[in-house]
């Protein structure tokens, strides 16, 4: 927590920083600054140049820059997966530092919660079904467990994917227990399990999620829209031909990998044909060495720096998460007749990522420095409604996890840390968090939110929101209503900061105050009046949390 | 496949606009078309028929239910019994259904080629095979899109106890947009739901959030909703995109439903105990009872699920158990609808994603089999008491009248009075028909 003394310290430090800059030309920073600042700025400038290049021809009028409050809320949601707390937003708004936005990004990226958030983002990319299907959610948690330490130690995205594809799956003992080295990779195995440990499913998943190619359309016949043939699909699947799913109807069926026969080529038979598909890379090169683990060979090829699909897809995924729409959209469908909206930009982003050893944070920081990312989402000109022009920041739905974490933050509810660290076994099905999350999962492609009646009812009528905005029980409400030195206007302000990370407008203040004062006939200092006021404050918080402004990342 | 793509390219902008305006898809979001349809439905009772889909995930074995092979090596231990229609025999574990055979048309010649759960379920549920980028809507969304009365507080598509396991994307509204998503009752938030189809308690189908929370007074409830409306206005004005309006529209629909006395529809506790027991005190049986109540409220599409049919192991124990549950629920549903004069305006569709092998595997199970399997249509719009198509004596292939998925769905549409060749604007810039144009409805089963 930032201490006021520290804030003053910051001002003194800034003064010295400016002085030292004038004297020795170096910029002094005291938070964990990025080493690549100038390259991030360069890439940010490139983003803005490319985005605005077409605007004159399309008569696009860009939206204004977001306010500091809007930026902070967006940054917290994107980097930590929750809205800022009242103290955090107050501090940011009060900070006079000119470059405070970039500094906020640095600060948030140095917090442990940012690792968890990035793991969640990658899990959503690698296991899209866990965003829709509660039955599979625990597999997603396992994968996040595995991703977190790797993100924490700064492993590049290419190395993470390489490890995922080549993770040893080992053999089982007769009792069906997994070998000890396998336990260590338990989380990565979840990715195989969610694909039923079938070569064709894994090949389809790897192609879609990592290469952005919907190869599976070619599973039964040549691809209808693209150049892939059925043979190529199965040649890719052949790399996974040595995996076996033990005959077990449940998802937690064990995995088994056979020992490679010494002289036979790695191959798979194509169903309903008499053809065998030998493991061949998508560029036509056959897998030549038979003593190399075919999965390792595929992983090497797939994550190579000069593999254009890999780098572009990775860059596009991050862009999609941060902007709500990929430069190629849908992001798992790179095809000739689905070109990027800004091909040169995609190349620049891909190159930047590759040049920095696939450090996703480099790309994230660069994006967040750009004007494109920092634009407001408020529409001031109809030309801003075209999502392909990125002339404003489009509203994005929150993920179920972001929604929960934000509700918890805004209501002051104490959410015990989820037991995710024991992987598969550690998810407490009865915890409020898990129950909320599993009931809020649904189709949530960033550009097409499906909001169901039931989700609405859960928030409008549900127990959680009701209890935690109650005048007696909601921690935030109780705290705000009992602070003696805040008048009613300031109490309303605090609720707005808590729920929407901004101050209310004059009009909003009046509406809220009118609601608070109401048609009460009780003397204002009576106990009943206090209780009634507390409840009304709770109502205000309830209304704010049910508003689209709260539920969206904008 | 390639032909469809080139055809789409030839379908130029002018033609698209003409089709789109005719279907009301351009302009006022189909309001004019929908209201004229609504006007038609008032005079033509056939067009307002409800559809109940009995969805059987896993793939039920036809050889042990509706296409018995007595005397064959792999015919299995179940006996074949006579039904109310001479010449048609079905499994002994479906006696209630057997006594109502005059209401059923059994299609024994399904031939569909997809043996993978995900792909097959997608195919049966949307009428199309999964294809890159196209968000095909499920049958329920398509039918509610055609038939739903926008003025009604009740949802157009209710899905009861759906597991949403295989092929999740075929359970939604796809390119039709969020207002045609199913309303899910009694399902995924209660994960124990389909693990034990036999044990039932009212809370499994309950929807506690339909009602104002008891700790909130009616006065407070109204006041804070009013506050919500006032406070969110400025944001909506400055954010005219899809996201904010989807949230608002869902909230409005939710509140309209919650405020309506029709929410009592979801409460089964008022039904006579005896009737509830006839349906079967299990999740599927009570879902059937709920379906009858939803039909009474003119809900256009109701989906019920009875899962567990993927019997690779120990097929006969599982099928016997499931068939018993199915028989009581479905049989009582048809009788109950008939008693209330509602059967004529209810189409019932019974299907899984494929059938099972005629041969029995070493684990006493049967495996996936899309080459010759069975679906059943019943109720309004259907000429009951017949079998359409046949499989060979050993059940390994279709002998007469093969039926594809589009054929089946075109038949369903026709029974509901829906033009299945109609084109709807999709998410990939070209219009897509409700059912693939290669389909031909089975005239013989339609009344």
| B positions 123-162 inside 8 Å of A (CB) | 131-133, 135, 155
Looking at residue A524, its pLDDT comes to: 62
Cβ of A454 within 8 Å of Cβ of B183? The answer is yes
**Per-residue pLDDT at B367 exceeds 50:** yes
Of A355, A350, A369, A465, which is closest to residue A411 (Cα–Cα)? A465
User: CB distance from B253 to chain A under 8 Å?
Assistant: yes
Radius of gyration of chain A (CA): 26
Angle at A72 between CA A70 and CA A77, to 5 degrees: 100
Dihedrals phi, psi of B39, to nearest 5 degrees: -60, -45
Of the candidates B163, B168, B235, the beta carbon closest to that of A548 is on B235
Per DSSP, the residues of B162-224 read: ----S-GGGGS-GGG-GGGSPEEES-TTSTTTTT-TT---GGGT--GGGS--TTS-HHHHHHH
Cβ of A133 within 8 Å of Cβ of B155? The answer is no
Partners of residue B382 on adjacent β-strands = B446
Question: What confidence category does residue A245 fall into, taking pLDDT thresholds of 50, 70 and 90?
Answer: very low
Question: What confidence category does residue A263 fall into, taking pLDDT thresholds of 50, 70 and 90?
Answer: low
Cβ of B189 within 8 Å of Cβ of A460? The answer is no
Mean pLDDT, chain A, whole residue set = 82
Report helix, strand or coil for A186: helix
Pick the residue with more confidence: A189 or B18? A189
Pick the residue with more confidence: A13 or A397? A397
What are the respective helix, strand and coil percentages of chain B, to the nearest 5? 45, 15, 45
Whole-angstrom distance, CA of residue B208 vs CA of residue B213: 8
Integer angstrom CA distances of residue A183 from A122, A139, A179, B376:
21, 14, 7, 48
Cβ of B224 within 8 Å of Cβ of A547? The answer is no
Integer angstrom CA distances of residue A495 from A90, A470, A477, A481, A545:
12, 13, 8, 10, 10
B207: closest chain A residue by CA: A454
Cβ of B246 within 8 Å of Cβ of A451? The answer is yes
B179: closest chain A residue by CA: A452
* Residue B317, burial from CB neighbour count under 10 angstroms (0-12, 13-18, 19+): exposed
User: What is the tens place of the pLDDT at every residue in A52-66?
Assistant: 999 999 999 999 999
Specify whether the backbone of A32 is left (phi greater than 0), alpha (psi in -120 to 50) or beta. beta
Is there a contact between A455 and A144 (Cβ–Cβ < 8 Å)? no
A377: closest chain B residue by CA: B239
**Per-residue pLDDT at A1 exceeds 90:** no
Of the ranges A141-145, A291-295, B81-85, B157-161, the best mean pLDDT one: B81-85
Of the ranges A181-195, A234-248, A367-381, the best mean pLDDT one: A367-381
Per DSSP, the residues of A79-94 read: HHSSPPPHHHHHHHHH
Beta-carbon pairs below 8 A across chains A and B:
182
A463: closest chain B residue by CA: B213
Whole-angstrom distance, CA of residue B406 vs CA of residue B112: 10
Looking at residue A70, its pLDDT comes to: 97
User: CB distance from B190 to chain A under 8 Å?
Assistant: no
User: CB distance from B232 to chain A under 8 Å?
Assistant: yes
Whole-angstrom distance, CA of residue A539 vs CA of residue A207: 49
Is there a contact between B420 and B127 (Cβ–Cβ < 8 Å)? no
* Chain A closest-CA separation from residue B45 CA (Å): 29
Q: Which residue has the tokens 């004229």?
A: B36
Assign 3-class secondary structure to B11-33: CCHHHHHHHHHHCCCCCCCCHHH
Please list every residue in chain A whose beta carbon sits closer than 8 Å to the beta carbon of residue B208.
461, 463
* Chain A closest-CA separation from residue B134 CA (Å): 10
Of A401, A318, A389, A391, which is closest to residue A360 (Cα–Cα)? A318
B153: closest chain A residue by CA: A453
Looking at chain B, the whole-number percentage of residues with pLDDT higher than 70 is: 84
Angle at B196 between CA B194 and CA B201, to 5 degrees: 90
- Spell B4-18 as b/e; 16+ CB within 10 A means b: eeeeeeeeeeeebee
Residue of A338, A444, A460 best to disrupt the B interface, most CBs of B under 10 A? A460
* Chain A closest-CA separation from residue B366 CA (Å): 14
* Chain B closest-CA separation from residue A164 CA (Å): 24
Cβ of B1 within 8 Å of Cβ of A439? The answer is no
Angle at A243 between CA A237 and CA A248, to 5 degrees: 120
User: What is the tens place of the pLDDT at every residue in B86-96?
Assistant: 999 999 999 99
Helices and strands in chain A: count of H runs, count of E runs? 27, 8
Of B294, B376, B364, which is closest to residue B330 (Cα–Cα)? B376
Of the candidates B173, B212, B240, the beta carbon closest to that of A461 is on B212
Q: What is the ipTM of this complex?
A: 0.81
Integer angstrom CA distances of residue B217 from A22, A456, A466, B174, B207:
66, 20, 12, 39, 20
Cβ of B165 within 8 Å of Cβ of A338? The answer is no
Count of CB atoms situated within 10 Å of the CB of B273 = 9
Residues in contact with A228: Cβ distance below 8 Å, sequence separation at least 6, in sequence order: A213, A215, A217, A218, A222, A282
Over range A452-481, report the average pLDDT.
87
User: CB distance from B18 to chain A under 8 Å?
Assistant: no
Is there a contact between B186 and B161 (Cβ–Cβ < 8 Å)? yes
**Per-residue pLDDT at A446 exceeds 80:** no
Of the candidates B220, B253, B310, the beta carbon closest to that of A453 is on B253
* Chain A closest-CA separation from residue B197 CA (Å): 17
Tokens coding B182: 């199913």
Pick the residue with more confidence: A304 or B196? A304
Partners of residue A346 on adjacent β-strands = none
**Per-residue pLDDT at B213 exceeds 90:** no
Of B105, B175, B103, B39, which is closest to residue B336 (Cα–Cα)? B103
For A360-374, B198-212, B366-380, which range has the lowest pLDDT when averaged over its residues?
B198-212
Please list every residue in chain B whose beta carbon sits closer than 8 Å to the beta carbon of residue A507.
234
User: What is the tens place of the pLDDT at every residue in B312-365?
Assistant: 889 999 999 999 999 999 999 999 999 999 999 999 999 999 999 999 988 899
Question: What confidence category does residue B211 fall into, taking pLDDT thresholds of 50, 70 and 90?
Answer: confident
Over range A464-484, report the average pLDDT.
91
Cβ of B312 within 8 Å of Cβ of A249? The answer is yes
| B positions 77-96 inside 8 Å of A (CB) | none
**Per-residue pLDDT at A244 exceeds 50:** yes
Of the candidates B215, B224, B247, the beta carbon closest to that of A451 is on B247
Over range B121-134, report the average pLDDT.
85
Please list every residue in chain B whose beta carbon sits closer than 8 Å to the beta carbon of residue A439.
188-189
**Per-residue pLDDT at A537 exceeds 90:** yes
Tokens coding B351: 């299907």
Of the candidates A133, A225, A451, the beta carbon closest to that of B250 is on A451
Cβ of B231 within 8 Å of Cβ of A429? The answer is no
* Chain A closest-CA separation from residue B100 CA (Å): 35
Looking at residue B268, its pLDDT comes to: 92
Of the candidates B164, B230, B254, the beta carbon closest to that of A453 is on B254
Report helix, strand or coil for A466: helix
Residue of B194, B211, B224 best to disrupt the A interface, most CBs of A under 10 A? B224
Count of CB atoms situated within 10 Å of the CB of B43 = 7
**Per-residue pLDDT at B446 exceeds 80:** yes
Fold for the domain defined by B51-206+263-420+441-445: Alkaline Phosphatase, subunit A (3.40.720)
**Per-residue pLDDT at A94 exceeds 90:** yes
Pairing outcome for strands B157-160 and B301-305: parallel
Looking at residue A19, its pLDDT comes to: 44
* Chain A closest-CA separation from residue B341 CA (Å): 31
- Long-range contact set of residues A340-343: C-beta below 8 Å, sequence gap at least 24: A340/A312, A340/A316, A341/A388, A342/A50, A342/A51
Report helix, strand or coil for B408: helix
Cβ of A515 within 8 Å of Cβ of B223? The answer is yes
* Chain B closest-CA separation from residue A21 CA (Å): 42
Looking at chain B, the whole-number percentage of residues with pLDDT higher than 90 is: 56
For A69-78, A153-162, B111-120, B411-420, which range has the lowest pLDDT when averaged over its residues?
B111-120
Cβ of B250 within 8 Å of Cβ of A462? The answer is no
Whether the pTM exceeds 0.80: the reply is no
Dihedrals phi, psi of B199, to nearest 5 degrees: -90, 135
User: CB distance from B169 to chain A under 8 Å?
Assistant: yes
Please list every residue in chain A whose beta carbon sits closer than 8 Å to the beta carbon of residue B211.
461
């Amino acid at each position: 927590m930032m201490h006021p003394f520290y804030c003053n310290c910051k001002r003194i430090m800034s003064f010295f920083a400016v002085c030292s800059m004038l004297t020795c030309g170096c910029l002094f920073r005291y938070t964990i600054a990025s080493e690549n600042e100038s390259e991030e700025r360069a890439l940010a400038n490139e983003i803005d140049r490319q985005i605005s290049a077409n605007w004159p021809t399309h008569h696009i009028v860009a939206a204004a820059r977001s306010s500091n409050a809007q930026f902070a809320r967006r940054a917290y949601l994107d980097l930590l997966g929750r809205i800022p707390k009242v103290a955090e937003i107050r501090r940011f708004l009060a900070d006079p530092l000119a470059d405070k936005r970039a500094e906020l990004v640095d600060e948030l990226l140095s917090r442990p919660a940012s690792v968890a958030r990035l793991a969640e983002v990658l899990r959503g990319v690698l296991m899209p079904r866990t965003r829709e299907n509660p039955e599979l959610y625990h597999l997603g948690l396992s994968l996040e467990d595995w991703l977190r330490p790797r993100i924490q130690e700064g492993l590049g995205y290419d190395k993470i994917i390489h490890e995922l594809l080549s993770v040893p799956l080992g053999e089982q003992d007769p009792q069906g227990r997994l070998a000890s080295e396998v336990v260590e990779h338990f989380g990565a195995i979840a990715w195989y399990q969610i694909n039923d440990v079938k070569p064709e499913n894994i090949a389809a998943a790897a192609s879609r999620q990592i290469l952005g190619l919907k190869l599976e359309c070619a599973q039964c016949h040549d691809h209808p829209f693209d150049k892939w043939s059925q043979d190529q699909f199965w040649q890719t699947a052949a790399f996974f031909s040595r995996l076996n799913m033990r005959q077990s109807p449940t998802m937690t069926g064990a995995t088994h990998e056979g020992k490679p026969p010494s002289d036979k080529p790695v191959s798979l038979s194509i169903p309903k044909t008499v053809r065998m598909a030998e493991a061949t890379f998508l560029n036509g090169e056959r897998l030549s060495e038979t003593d190399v683990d075919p999965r390792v060979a595929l992983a090497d090829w797939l994550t190579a720096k000069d593999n254009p699909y890999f780098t572009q897809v990775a860059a596009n995924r991050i862009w999609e998460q941060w902007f709500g729409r990929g430069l190629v959209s849908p992001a798992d469908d790179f095809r000739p007749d689905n070109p990027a909206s800004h091909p040169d930009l995609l190349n620049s982003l891909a190159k930047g990522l590759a040049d920095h050893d696939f450090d996703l944070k480099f790309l994230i920081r660069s994006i967040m420095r750009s004007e494109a990312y920092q634009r407001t989402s408020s529409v001031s000109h109809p030309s801003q409604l075209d999502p392909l022009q990125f002339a404003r920041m489009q509203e994005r739905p929150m993920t179920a996890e972001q929604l929960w974490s934000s509700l918890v933050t805004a209501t002051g509810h104490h959410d015990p840390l989820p037991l995710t660290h024991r992987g598969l076994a550690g998810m407490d099905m009865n915890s409020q968090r898990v129950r909320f999350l599993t009931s809020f999962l649904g189709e949530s492609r960033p550009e097409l939110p499906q909001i169901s009646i039931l989700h609405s009812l859960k928030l409008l009528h549900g127990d959680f929101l009701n209890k935690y905005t109650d005048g007696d029980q909601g921690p935030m409400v109780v705290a705000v209503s009992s602070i003696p030195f805040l008048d009613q206007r300031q109490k309303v302000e605090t609720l707005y900061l808590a729920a929407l990370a901004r101050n209310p407008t004059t009009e909003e203040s009046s509406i809220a105050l009118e609601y608070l004062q109401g048609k009460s006939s009780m003397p204002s200092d009576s106990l009943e009046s206090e209780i009634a006021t507390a409840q009304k404050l709770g109502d205000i918080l309830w209304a704010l949390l049910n508003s689209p402004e709260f539920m969206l990342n904008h | 496949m390639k032909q469809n793509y080139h055809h789409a390219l030839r379908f130029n902008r002018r033609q698209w606009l003409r089709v789109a305006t005719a279907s009301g898809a351009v302009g006022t979001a189909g309001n004019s078309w929908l209201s004229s349809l609504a006007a038609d439905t008032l005079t033509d009772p056939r067009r307002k028929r409800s559809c109940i889909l009995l969805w059987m995930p896993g793939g039920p074995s036809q050889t042990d239910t509706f296409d018995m092979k007595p005397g064959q090596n792999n015919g299995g231990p179940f006996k074949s019994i006579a039904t109310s229609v001479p010449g048609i025999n079905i499994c002994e574990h479906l006696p209630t259904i057997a006594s109502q055979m005059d209401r059923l048309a059994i299609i024994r010649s399904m031939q569909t080629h997809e043996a993978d759960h995900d792909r097959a379920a997608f195919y049966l549920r949307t009428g199309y095979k999964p294809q890159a980028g196209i968000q095909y809507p499920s049958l329920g969304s398509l039918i509610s899109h055609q038939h739903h009365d926008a003025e009604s507080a009740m949802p157009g598509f209710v899905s009861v106890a759906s597991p949403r396991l295989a092929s999740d994307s075929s359970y939604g509204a796809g390119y039709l947009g969020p207002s045609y998503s199913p309303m899910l009752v009694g399902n995924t938030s209660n994960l124990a739901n389909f693990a034990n189809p036999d044990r039932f308690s009212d809370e499994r189908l309950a929807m506690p959030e339909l009602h104002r929370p008891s700790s909130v007074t009616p006065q407070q409830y109204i006041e804070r909703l009013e506050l919500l409306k006032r406070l969110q206005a400025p944001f909506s004005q400055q954010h005219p995109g899809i996201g904010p309006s989807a949230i608002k529209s869902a909230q409005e629909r939710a509140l309209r439903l919650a405020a309506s006395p029709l929410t009592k529809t979801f409460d089964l506790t008022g039904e006579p105990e005896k009737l509830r027991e006839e349906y079967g005190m299990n999740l599927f049986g009570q879902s059937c009872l709920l379906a009858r109540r939803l039909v009474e409220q003119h809900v256009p599409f109701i989906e019920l699920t009875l899962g567990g049919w993927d019997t690779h192991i120990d097929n006969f124990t599982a099928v016997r158990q499931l068939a018993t549950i199915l028989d009581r629920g479905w049989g009582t549903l048809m009788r109950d609808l008939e008693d209330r004069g509602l059967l004529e305006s209810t189409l019932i569709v019974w299907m899984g994603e494929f059938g099972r092998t005629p041969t029995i595997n070493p684990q006493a199970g049967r495996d996936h089999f899309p080459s010759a399997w069975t679906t059943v249509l019943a109720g309004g719009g259907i000429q009951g008491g017949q079998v359409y198509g046949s499989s060979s004596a050993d059940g390994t292939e279709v002998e007469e009248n093969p039926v594809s998925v589009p054929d089946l769905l075109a038949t369903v549409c026709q029974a509901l009075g829906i033009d299945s060749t109609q084109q709807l604007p999709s998410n990939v810039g070209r219009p897509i028909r409700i059912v693939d144009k290669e389909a031909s409805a089975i005239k013989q089963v339609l009344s």
